[in-house]
Amino acid sequence: MIRDLLTEAMRNVRAHWMRVLLTGSGIVWGIALFIALTAIGSSNREHYREKMEAVGRKVIYAFPGVVPKRGAGNRNARRVELDGDDPPRLTGSPLVEDVAAELWTGPRVLKGGGHIKVVWTYGVAPAASRIRNFQVGRGRFISDADIADRRRVLVIGATVERRLFGRKSALGRAVRLDGQPFRIIGVSVRKGEQMVNMGPRDDEQVLMPISTAQTLFTGSDKIGYVIYEPRTRPEGAASTERVRALLARHHYFVPADEEAVSFFNIAEAMKLMELISLALQIFLVACGAVTLAAGAVGVMNIMLVAVAERTREIGLRKAVGATHRDVFVQVMGETVVITVTAGSTGLVLGAMIISALRFLRGSAERVQFLMPQVSFSPALAVLAFVVLVAVGVLAGVVPALRAARLDPAVALREE
Protein backbone atom coordinates (compact mmCIF):
# COMPACT_ATOMS: atom_id res chain seq x y z
CA MET A 1 0.00 0.00 0.00
CA ILE A 2 2.67 2.49 1.03
CA ARG A 3 4.94 1.37 -1.78
CA ASP A 4 2.18 1.86 -4.35
CA LEU A 5 1.38 5.25 -2.86
CA LEU A 6 5.00 6.39 -3.09
CA THR A 7 5.31 5.05 -6.64
CA GLU A 8 2.22 6.96 -7.72
CA ALA A 9 3.44 10.12 -5.96
CA MET A 10 6.84 9.92 -7.64
CA ARG A 11 5.17 9.39 -11.04
CA ASN A 12 3.09 12.52 -10.59
CA VAL A 13 6.15 14.49 -9.38
CA ARG A 14 8.12 13.48 -12.51
CA ALA A 15 5.18 14.38 -14.74
CA HIS A 16 5.09 17.92 -13.32
CA TRP A 17 8.80 18.35 -12.50
CA MET A 18 8.98 22.04 -13.40
CA ARG A 19 6.14 22.94 -11.07
CA VAL A 20 7.62 20.78 -8.31
CA LEU A 21 11.07 22.32 -8.86
CA LEU A 22 9.76 25.86 -8.46
CA THR A 23 7.80 24.92 -5.37
CA GLY A 24 10.65 22.92 -3.88
CA SER A 25 13.13 25.77 -4.33
CA GLY A 26 11.17 27.86 -1.86
CA ILE A 27 11.26 25.05 0.68
CA VAL A 28 14.96 24.41 0.07
CA TRP A 29 15.87 28.05 0.67
CA GLY A 30 13.48 28.23 3.59
CA ILE A 31 15.05 25.42 5.61
CA ALA A 32 18.62 26.32 4.53
CA LEU A 33 18.25 29.92 5.66
CA PHE A 34 16.44 28.88 8.83
CA ILE A 35 19.33 26.61 9.82
CA ALA A 36 22.02 29.14 8.86
CA LEU A 37 20.36 32.19 10.43
CA THR A 38 19.48 30.37 13.64
CA ALA A 39 23.05 29.05 13.95
CA ILE A 40 24.45 32.55 13.40
CA GLY A 41 22.09 34.03 15.99
CA SER A 42 22.98 31.49 18.66
CA SER A 43 26.72 31.82 17.96
CA ASN A 44 26.68 35.63 18.11
CA ARG A 45 25.91 35.83 21.83
CA GLU A 46 28.70 33.48 22.86
CA HIS A 47 31.16 35.09 20.42
CA TYR A 48 30.69 38.65 21.62
CA ARG A 49 30.56 37.61 25.27
CA GLU A 50 33.96 35.97 24.84
CA LYS A 51 35.39 39.05 23.09
CA MET A 52 34.15 41.37 25.81
CA GLU A 53 35.44 39.14 28.61
CA ALA A 54 38.94 39.34 27.11
CA VAL A 55 39.51 42.53 29.14
CA GLY A 56 38.42 40.75 32.34
CA ARG A 57 35.47 38.56 33.29
CA LYS A 58 34.24 40.75 36.17
CA VAL A 59 36.73 43.61 36.11
CA ILE A 60 35.79 47.09 37.30
CA TYR A 61 38.14 50.05 36.76
CA ALA A 62 38.13 52.85 39.36
CA PHE A 63 39.64 56.05 37.97
CA PRO A 64 40.42 59.01 40.24
CA GLY A 65 38.85 62.31 39.25
CA VAL A 66 38.61 65.77 40.75
CA VAL A 67 36.88 67.36 43.75
CA PRO A 68 35.68 70.92 43.09
CA LYS A 69 36.54 73.37 45.81
CA ARG A 70 33.60 75.01 47.53
CA GLY A 71 32.69 78.25 45.80
CA ALA A 72 35.11 77.61 42.92
CA GLY A 73 34.73 76.07 39.50
CA ASN A 74 36.38 72.94 38.10
CA ARG A 75 39.36 75.05 37.15
CA ASN A 76 40.44 75.15 40.78
CA ALA A 77 39.33 71.60 41.57
CA ARG A 78 41.49 69.36 43.72
CA ARG A 79 42.72 66.24 42.02
CA VAL A 80 42.19 62.88 43.77
CA GLU A 81 45.45 60.92 43.90
CA LEU A 82 45.36 57.25 44.81
CA ASP A 83 48.29 55.54 46.51
CA GLY A 84 49.50 52.06 47.39
CA ASP A 85 47.48 51.98 50.61
CA ASP A 86 44.15 52.11 48.75
CA PRO A 87 43.95 48.53 47.35
CA PRO A 88 44.29 46.90 50.81
CA ARG A 89 41.55 49.17 52.11
CA LEU A 90 39.15 47.94 49.43
CA THR A 91 39.74 44.26 50.16
CA GLY A 92 38.09 44.80 53.52
CA SER A 93 34.72 45.19 51.79
CA PRO A 94 32.64 41.98 51.57
CA LEU A 95 31.58 43.04 48.05
CA VAL A 96 35.15 43.08 46.72
CA GLU A 97 36.87 39.80 45.87
CA ASP A 98 40.28 40.95 44.62
CA VAL A 99 42.05 44.28 44.03
CA ALA A 100 45.16 45.43 42.18
CA ALA A 101 46.85 48.80 41.67
CA GLU A 102 47.97 49.88 38.21
CA LEU A 103 50.05 52.73 36.86
CA TRP A 104 50.12 53.79 33.23
CA THR A 105 53.62 54.98 32.37
CA GLY A 106 52.86 55.88 28.77
CA PRO A 107 54.57 55.03 25.49
CA ARG A 108 58.26 54.22 25.86
CA VAL A 109 61.10 53.00 23.66
CA LEU A 110 61.85 49.28 23.96
CA LYS A 111 65.04 47.95 22.39
CA GLY A 112 65.67 44.25 21.92
CA GLY A 113 66.32 41.58 19.30
CA GLY A 114 68.02 44.11 17.07
CA HIS A 115 64.85 46.23 16.83
CA ILE A 116 63.58 49.40 18.46
CA LYS A 117 59.85 49.85 19.03
CA VAL A 118 57.62 52.28 20.88
CA VAL A 119 55.43 50.29 23.29
CA TRP A 120 52.71 51.02 25.85
CA THR A 121 53.91 50.38 29.38
CA TYR A 122 52.11 49.72 32.65
CA GLY A 123 53.13 49.10 36.23
CA VAL A 124 50.98 46.31 37.64
CA ALA A 125 50.51 44.10 40.70
CA PRO A 126 50.38 40.27 40.67
CA ALA A 127 46.57 40.15 40.97
CA ALA A 128 46.23 42.00 37.65
CA SER A 129 46.82 38.74 35.77
CA ARG A 130 43.58 37.18 37.00
CA ILE A 131 41.48 40.34 37.20
CA ARG A 132 42.39 41.45 33.68
CA ASN A 133 42.38 37.93 32.22
CA PHE A 134 46.00 38.49 31.15
CA GLN A 135 47.19 34.93 30.61
CA VAL A 136 50.89 34.09 30.35
CA GLY A 137 51.66 31.58 27.62
CA ARG A 138 55.37 31.18 28.38
CA GLY A 139 57.28 32.08 31.51
CA ARG A 140 55.49 33.66 34.48
CA PHE A 141 53.67 36.77 35.58
CA ILE A 142 54.94 39.43 37.97
CA SER A 143 55.19 38.17 41.57
CA ASP A 144 55.10 39.71 45.03
CA ALA A 145 58.88 39.24 45.23
CA ASP A 146 59.27 41.32 42.06
CA ILE A 147 57.25 44.09 43.69
CA ALA A 148 59.14 43.94 46.98
CA ASP A 149 62.60 43.95 45.36
CA ARG A 150 61.67 46.44 42.61
CA ARG A 151 63.03 44.04 40.04
CA ARG A 152 63.57 45.15 36.49
CA VAL A 153 61.51 42.46 34.80
CA LEU A 154 58.89 42.64 32.04
CA VAL A 155 55.90 40.65 30.85
CA ILE A 156 55.22 41.47 27.22
CA GLY A 157 52.29 40.94 24.88
CA ALA A 158 52.43 38.44 22.03
CA THR A 159 52.49 41.20 19.39
CA VAL A 160 55.40 42.96 21.11
CA GLU A 161 57.38 39.70 21.03
CA ARG A 162 56.72 39.24 17.31
CA ARG A 163 57.70 42.82 16.46
CA LEU A 164 60.97 42.63 18.36
CA PHE A 165 62.10 39.05 17.93
CA GLY A 166 60.14 37.75 14.96
CA ARG A 167 59.68 33.99 15.29
CA LYS A 168 62.26 33.68 18.06
CA SER A 169 61.29 33.45 21.71
CA ALA A 170 61.63 36.58 23.85
CA LEU A 171 61.62 34.65 27.12
CA GLY A 172 64.72 35.38 29.21
CA ARG A 173 66.03 38.02 26.79
CA ALA A 174 67.73 41.19 28.03
CA VAL A 175 66.16 44.38 26.67
CA ARG A 176 66.29 48.10 27.36
CA LEU A 177 63.25 50.21 28.17
CA ASP A 178 64.00 53.92 27.81
CA GLY A 179 67.66 52.99 28.27
CA GLN A 180 67.04 51.01 31.49
CA PRO A 181 68.06 47.31 31.48
CA PHE A 182 65.24 44.78 31.91
CA ARG A 183 64.75 41.04 31.49
CA ILE A 184 61.67 39.45 29.92
CA ILE A 185 60.14 36.87 32.26
CA GLY A 186 56.82 36.20 30.51
CA VAL A 187 54.99 36.36 27.18
CA SER A 188 51.20 36.55 27.07
CA VAL A 189 48.78 34.26 25.32
CA ARG A 190 47.65 35.93 22.13
CA LYS A 191 44.18 37.50 22.45
CA GLY A 192 43.89 39.11 19.04
CA GLU A 193 41.23 41.75 18.49
CA GLN A 194 39.35 42.84 21.62
CA MET A 195 35.90 44.39 21.75
CA VAL A 196 36.76 46.39 24.88
CA ASN A 197 40.17 47.97 25.38
CA MET A 198 41.38 50.16 28.20
CA GLY A 199 44.14 51.67 26.10
CA PRO A 200 45.94 49.48 23.55
CA ARG A 201 45.18 45.80 23.08
CA ASP A 202 46.70 43.45 25.64
CA ASP A 203 48.90 41.91 22.93
CA GLU A 204 50.62 45.30 22.52
CA GLN A 205 51.28 46.04 26.20
CA VAL A 206 54.45 45.78 28.27
CA LEU A 207 53.95 45.18 32.00
CA MET A 208 56.43 45.69 34.84
CA PRO A 209 56.23 45.65 38.66
CA ILE A 210 54.37 48.75 39.79
CA SER A 211 57.12 49.52 42.33
CA THR A 212 59.70 49.49 39.53
CA ALA A 213 57.55 51.83 37.43
CA GLN A 214 57.25 54.23 40.36
CA THR A 215 61.00 54.21 41.04
CA LEU A 216 62.22 54.57 37.46
CA PHE A 217 59.54 56.56 35.67
CA THR A 218 57.31 58.55 38.03
CA GLY A 219 59.40 59.03 41.16
CA SER A 220 56.24 58.94 43.25
CA ASP A 221 54.37 56.45 45.40
CA LYS A 222 51.08 57.38 43.70
CA ILE A 223 49.21 54.88 41.52
CA GLY A 224 47.20 55.58 38.41
CA TYR A 225 43.96 53.72 39.12
CA VAL A 226 42.56 50.61 40.78
CA ILE A 227 41.12 47.50 39.18
CA TYR A 228 39.07 45.04 41.18
CA GLU A 229 36.61 42.16 40.92
CA PRO A 230 33.30 42.11 42.80
CA ARG A 231 32.23 38.78 44.28
CA THR A 232 29.57 38.41 41.58
CA ARG A 233 28.60 40.42 38.52
CA PRO A 234 25.18 41.41 39.90
CA GLU A 235 26.96 42.95 42.91
CA GLY A 236 29.06 45.17 40.65
CA ALA A 237 26.82 48.25 40.93
CA ALA A 238 26.63 48.00 44.73
CA SER A 239 30.39 47.48 44.95
CA THR A 240 31.12 50.74 43.13
CA GLU A 241 29.14 52.68 45.73
CA ARG A 242 31.02 50.92 48.51
CA VAL A 243 34.41 51.50 46.89
CA ARG A 244 33.67 55.20 46.39
CA ALA A 245 32.65 55.50 50.05
CA LEU A 246 35.88 53.82 51.22
CA LEU A 247 38.04 56.05 49.03
CA ALA A 248 36.09 59.14 50.13
CA ARG A 249 36.92 58.42 53.75
CA HIS A 250 40.68 58.56 53.09
CA HIS A 251 40.82 61.17 50.33
CA TYR A 252 38.40 63.67 51.87
CA PHE A 253 35.53 63.97 49.46
CA VAL A 254 31.79 63.37 49.71
CA PRO A 255 30.79 59.76 48.81
CA ALA A 256 27.97 61.07 46.62
CA ASP A 257 30.46 63.02 44.47
CA GLU A 258 30.61 60.96 41.26
CA GLU A 259 33.27 63.23 39.77
CA ALA A 260 35.76 62.24 42.48
CA VAL A 261 35.96 58.61 41.30
CA SER A 262 34.53 57.21 38.05
CA PHE A 263 34.02 53.55 37.22
CA PHE A 264 33.96 51.31 34.19
CA ASN A 265 32.09 48.07 34.90
CA ILE A 266 32.47 45.36 32.26
CA ALA A 267 29.24 43.71 33.49
CA GLU A 268 27.20 46.76 32.46
CA ALA A 269 28.74 46.77 28.99
CA MET A 270 28.08 43.04 28.67
CA LYS A 271 24.47 43.49 29.75
CA LEU A 272 23.92 45.95 26.91
CA MET A 273 25.63 43.60 24.46
CA GLU A 274 23.48 40.69 25.69
CA LEU A 275 20.33 42.68 24.91
CA ILE A 276 21.58 43.55 21.43
CA SER A 277 22.59 39.94 20.76
CA LEU A 278 19.25 38.62 22.01
CA ALA A 279 17.36 41.06 19.78
CA LEU A 280 19.50 40.03 16.81
CA GLN A 281 18.94 36.35 17.52
CA ILE A 282 15.16 36.84 17.72
CA PHE A 283 15.25 38.79 14.44
CA LEU A 284 17.27 36.09 12.65
CA VAL A 285 15.06 33.26 13.93
CA ALA A 286 11.98 35.25 12.89
CA CYS A 287 13.44 35.74 9.40
CA GLY A 288 14.05 32.00 9.11
CA ALA A 289 10.55 31.20 10.37
CA VAL A 290 8.98 33.63 7.88
CA THR A 291 10.98 32.01 5.09
CA LEU A 292 9.74 28.58 6.17
CA ALA A 293 6.17 29.91 6.28
CA ALA A 294 6.56 31.28 2.75
CA GLY A 295 7.69 27.84 1.61
CA ALA A 296 4.63 26.27 3.26
CA VAL A 297 2.34 28.72 1.48
CA GLY A 298 4.06 27.77 -1.76
CA VAL A 299 3.36 24.08 -1.06
CA MET A 300 -0.31 24.76 -0.46
CA ASN A 301 -0.67 26.93 -3.56
CA ILE A 302 1.05 24.44 -5.84
CA MET A 303 -1.05 21.55 -4.53
CA LEU A 304 -4.21 23.59 -5.04
CA VAL A 305 -3.13 24.19 -8.63
CA ALA A 306 -2.33 20.50 -9.01
CA VAL A 307 -5.78 19.52 -7.77
CA ALA A 308 -7.42 22.03 -10.15
CA GLU A 309 -5.42 20.72 -13.13
CA ARG A 310 -6.27 17.10 -12.31
CA THR A 311 -9.98 17.56 -11.63
CA ARG A 312 -11.03 15.19 -14.45
CA GLU A 313 -8.44 12.59 -13.37
CA ILE A 314 -9.64 12.69 -9.78
CA GLY A 315 -13.27 12.51 -10.93
CA LEU A 316 -12.49 9.47 -13.06
CA ARG A 317 -10.76 7.72 -10.15
CA LYS A 318 -13.73 8.34 -7.91
CA ALA A 319 -16.11 7.15 -10.64
CA VAL A 320 -14.34 3.78 -10.84
CA GLY A 321 -14.41 3.22 -7.10
CA ALA A 322 -11.79 5.40 -5.38
CA THR A 323 -12.96 6.57 -1.96
CA HIS A 324 -12.54 9.98 -0.34
CA ARG A 325 -9.77 8.44 1.76
CA ASP A 326 -7.91 7.13 -1.32
CA VAL A 327 -7.88 10.55 -3.00
CA PHE A 328 -6.95 12.33 0.23
CA VAL A 329 -4.04 9.98 0.89
CA GLN A 330 -2.82 10.31 -2.72
CA VAL A 331 -2.63 14.12 -2.56
CA MET A 332 -1.06 14.03 0.90
CA GLY A 333 1.49 11.49 -0.32
CA GLU A 334 2.60 13.85 -3.08
CA THR A 335 2.85 16.67 -0.55
CA VAL A 336 5.02 14.59 1.77
CA VAL A 337 7.31 13.47 -1.08
CA ILE A 338 7.84 17.07 -2.22
CA THR A 339 8.36 18.33 1.32
CA VAL A 340 10.77 15.58 2.42
CA THR A 341 12.83 15.78 -0.79
CA ALA A 342 13.09 19.58 -0.68
CA GLY A 343 13.73 19.52 3.07
CA SER A 344 16.61 17.06 2.72
CA THR A 345 18.12 19.23 0.01
CA GLY A 346 17.68 22.28 2.25
CA LEU A 347 19.54 20.55 5.10
CA VAL A 348 22.49 19.88 2.80
CA LEU A 349 22.43 23.47 1.49
CA GLY A 350 22.26 24.84 5.05
CA ALA A 351 25.31 22.78 6.04
CA MET A 352 27.14 24.08 2.95
CA ILE A 353 26.32 27.70 3.86
CA ILE A 354 27.68 27.15 7.38
CA SER A 355 30.84 25.54 5.96
CA ALA A 356 31.29 28.54 3.65
CA LEU A 357 30.94 30.92 6.60
CA ARG A 358 33.53 28.96 8.58
CA PHE A 359 35.92 29.11 5.64
CA LEU A 360 35.35 32.85 5.23
CA ARG A 361 35.98 33.42 8.95
CA GLY A 362 39.42 31.88 8.68
CA SER A 363 40.47 34.24 5.89
CA ALA A 364 41.59 37.15 8.12
CA GLU A 365 41.97 38.08 11.79
CA ARG A 366 39.60 41.03 11.44
CA VAL A 367 36.92 38.73 10.02
CA GLN A 368 37.40 36.36 12.97
CA PHE A 369 36.76 39.28 15.31
CA LEU A 370 33.56 40.37 13.55
CA MET A 371 32.17 36.96 12.63
CA PRO A 372 31.32 34.26 15.18
CA GLN A 373 32.38 30.63 14.85
CA VAL A 374 29.17 29.20 13.36
CA SER A 375 28.65 25.48 13.91
CA PHE A 376 26.21 23.07 12.27
CA SER A 377 23.85 21.74 14.92
CA PRO A 378 22.40 18.28 14.15
CA ALA A 379 19.70 18.82 16.79
CA LEU A 380 18.69 22.11 15.16
CA ALA A 381 18.72 20.49 11.72
CA VAL A 382 16.43 17.65 12.89
CA LEU A 383 14.11 20.15 14.57
CA ALA A 384 13.92 22.30 11.43
CA PHE A 385 13.30 19.23 9.27
CA VAL A 386 10.50 17.96 11.53
CA VAL A 387 8.91 21.41 11.63
CA LEU A 388 9.17 21.69 7.85
CA VAL A 389 7.51 18.30 7.26
CA ALA A 390 4.78 19.16 9.76
CA VAL A 391 4.17 22.55 8.14
CA GLY A 392 4.23 20.97 4.67
CA VAL A 393 1.72 18.30 5.70
CA LEU A 394 -0.57 20.92 7.22
CA ALA A 395 -0.25 23.00 4.05
CA GLY A 396 -1.33 19.99 1.98
CA VAL A 397 -4.44 19.25 4.03
CA VAL A 398 -6.60 21.91 2.35
CA PRO A 399 -5.80 20.79 -1.23
CA ALA A 400 -6.24 17.14 -0.22
CA LEU A 401 -9.64 17.80 1.35
CA ARG A 402 -10.73 19.74 -1.71
CA ALA A 403 -9.69 16.85 -3.96
CA ALA A 404 -11.42 14.26 -1.75
CA ARG A 405 -14.71 16.19 -1.75
CA LEU A 406 -14.95 16.55 -5.52
CA ASP A 407 -18.22 15.31 -7.01
CA PRO A 408 -17.33 12.76 -9.74
CA ALA A 409 -20.17 13.87 -12.01
CA VAL A 410 -19.10 17.53 -11.78
CA ALA A 411 -15.42 16.65 -12.12
CA LEU A 412 -15.95 14.61 -15.31
CA ARG A 413 -17.71 17.57 -16.97
CA GLU A 414 -14.63 19.82 -16.39
CA GLU A 415 -12.83 20.84 -19.57
CB 388, CB 295: distance < 8 Å: yes
**Segment 238-253 mean pLDDT:** 90
The domain tally of the chain equals 2
pLDDT of residue 1: 47
SS3 state of residue 206: strand
Task: Count CB neighbours of 79 within 10 A.
Answer: 9
pLDDT band at residue 56 using 50, 70 and 90 as cut-offs: confident
Domain membership flag for residue 199 = yes
Same domain, 277 and 355: yes
Band the pLDDT of 107: cuts 50, 70, 90: very high
Q: Tell me: the pLDDT tens digits for 316-348?
A: 666 666 666 666 767 677 777 777 777 788 888
Is the domain of 252 the same as that of 283? Answer: no
Judgement on whether residues 164 and 301 belong to the same structural domain of the protein: no
- The reported pLDDT for the residue numbered 310 is 61
Alpha carbons within 13 A on the beta-carbon side of 191: 28
Confidence (pLDDT) at 375 = 75
Domain membership of residue 42 (yes or no) is yes
pLDDT digits (tens, 9 = 90+) for 193-223: 777 777 788 899 999 999 999 999 998 889 9
- Does residue 61 sit within a domain? no
Listed as own residue / partner, the contacts of 272-281 with beta carbons closer than 8 Å and 24 or more positions apart are 273/48, 273/49, 273/52, 273/195, 274/45, 274/49, 277/44, 277/45, 277/48, 277/49, 278/45, 280/41, 280/44, 281/41, 281/42, 281/44, 281/45
- Are 235 and 105 members of one domain? yes
pLDDT band for position 303 (cuts 50, 70, 90): low
pLDDT at position 120 over 50: yes
Do 255 and 279 belong to one domain? no
Looking at the fold, whether 221 and 286 belong to one and the same domain comes out as no
pTM exceeds 0.85, yes or no: no
Give a yes or no: residue 337 inside a domain: yes
Type and span of the H or E element at 195: none
Q: Which residue would you say has higher pLDDT here, 98 or 399?
A: 98
- Domain, as residue range, for 28: 2-53+271-412
Position 19 scores a pLDDT of 62
